[in-house]
Each structure stands twice: as structure tokens, then as C-alpha cells.
């Protein structure tokens, strides 16, 4: 039986938005994030991370640092009894300074490459019951590009998106004050 799936942004959605995280200790979960992911786990809804991480392409740190940050996120969730079913990141940026990462790719949100890869990697994910939760216009547009429902959280850059001072105006299916409210809405929407 296919499982519903929630594609989650990382920075500003699951962990506090602090800019490019060069020190692993600066990756701190937003209050209630682990409990929200655990709720997905308990309802057999796949939780899949999809995150743009251009810090390596910009030369701020090596690509291995992105992997270390994601390992820290995974460990912080595990400490509170939650887990991710998949984890995908895009390290690319067309105007990056690291040659092998300076490219226009199909995985950088809002393009659907990471979501498409997740569906290829796991045939039990149900594309008809898919959601994207994030704090940026690119997350809402990713949902539209994947025929998923879009939830914008007002943590991170979300409130600035709503105000029109960051990225561009979008029309998500739901606006949530935080990841916990977003996940509760998804669980209710699936009923």
C-alpha cells in the first residue's frame, strides 16, 4: 500500500534560520519540530527532507559539511524519537564559485528533481497524497510543480514571504504558524 508523503524544507522549517551554518552546533531544531515529525511517523506518513544547500557552491564550506549538517539534524530528531524516511539536498547554484557545483540543475527548488528522485527511490510513496512544507516561495512553487499540496510556515522567511518582502507572493493551500501546526493540518487533511 502506498504511503502519503510530506516533503520538508530544512532551514527555517525544521531548524532555526540562522543563515549559512558553518558551525554544526548552530543547527538547532525549531521548538516542536521533532514532535511534528514523530506525528508523521506515527501516522505512517513518509517524512522526506528536500533542501537547497548552496553554501558549498558559494565556497562557504565543502559539500561534506552539508552531509554533516543533515546528520546532525537526523541525530537531533532521533534523540526525540523521530526520523526522516528520506533525505535529499541540492548543492548547486548556477553562479557558484566551485566549478563542479556551479550549474543549472533539475534538483534546485522550485524545480522538482529532488521530489522526482524520492519517488524513483521509493515506489511506496503516493504522489496523489503528497505535501510540501516550507518557509519560502520556492517551497510553495515546488509543490505546484509536483502537483502536491503546499503549506507555508511563518517561521524562517515565511512571514516575509506573506508580507511580500522576500522572494515573491504565493498562494499556499495552508499557512501555518509552525511545523507542528502544519503537520496537524496535513494529518487532518488526509482523513
Give yes or no for residue 156 having a pLDDT over 90: yes
What's the whole-number mean pLDDT along residues 24-43? 97
Which pLDDT band, with edges at 50, 70 and 90, does 33 fall under? very high
Q: Could you tell me if 84 and 76 are in contact, meaning their C-beta atoms sit under 8 angstroms apart? A: no
| Pairwise CA distance, residues 124 & 170, whole Å | 30
Q: Could you tell me if 164 and 175 are in contact, meaning their C-beta atoms sit under 8 angstroms apart? A: no
CATH number at residue 184: 3.40.50.1000
* Percentage of the chain lying above the pLDDT 70 cut: 100
State how many domains the chain has. Answer: 1
Residue 133's closest CA among 148, 150, 117, 119?
Answer: 150
pLDDT of residue 1: 86
pLDDT tens digit sequence for 96-139: 999 999 999 999 999 999 999 999 999 999 999 999 999 999 99
Residues marked as catalytic: 9, 11
* pTM across the whole model: 0.96
Domain span including residue 88: 3-190
pLDDT of residue 168: 86
Amino acid at each position: 500500500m502506498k504511503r502519503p508523503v510530506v516533503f520538508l524544507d530544512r532551514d527555517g522549517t525544521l531548524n532555526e534560520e540562522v543563515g549559512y551554518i558553518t558551525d554544526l552546533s548552530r543547527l538547532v531544531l525549531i521548538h516542536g519540530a521533532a514532535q511534528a515529525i514523530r506525528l508523521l511517523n506515527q501516522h505512517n506518513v513518509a517524512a522526506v527532507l528536500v533542501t537547497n544547500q548552496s553554501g558549498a557552491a558559494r565556497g562557504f564550506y565543502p559539500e561534506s559539511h552539508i552531509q554533516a549538517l543533515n546528520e546532525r539534524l537526523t541525530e537531533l530528531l532521533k534523540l526525540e524519537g523521530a526520523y526522516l524516511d528520506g533525505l535529499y539536498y541540492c548543492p548547486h547554484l548556477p553562479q557558484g564559485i566551485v566549478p563542479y557545483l556551479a550549474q543549472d540543475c533539475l534538483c534546485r527548488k522550485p524545480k522538482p528533481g529532488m521530489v522526482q528522485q524520492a519517488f524513483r527511490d521509493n515506489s511506496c510513496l503516493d504522489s496523489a497524497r503528497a505535501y510540501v512544507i516550507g518557509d519560502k516561495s520556492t517551497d510553495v512553487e515546488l509543490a505546484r510543480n509536483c502537483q502536491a499540496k503546499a503549506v507555508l510556515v511563518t517561521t524562517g522567511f515565511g512571514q516575509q514571504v506573506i508580507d511580500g518582502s522576500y522572494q515573491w507572493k504565493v498562494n499556499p493551500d495552508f499557512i501555518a504558524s509552525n511545523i507542528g501546526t502544519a503537520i496537524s493540518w496535513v494529518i487532518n487533511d488526509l482523513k
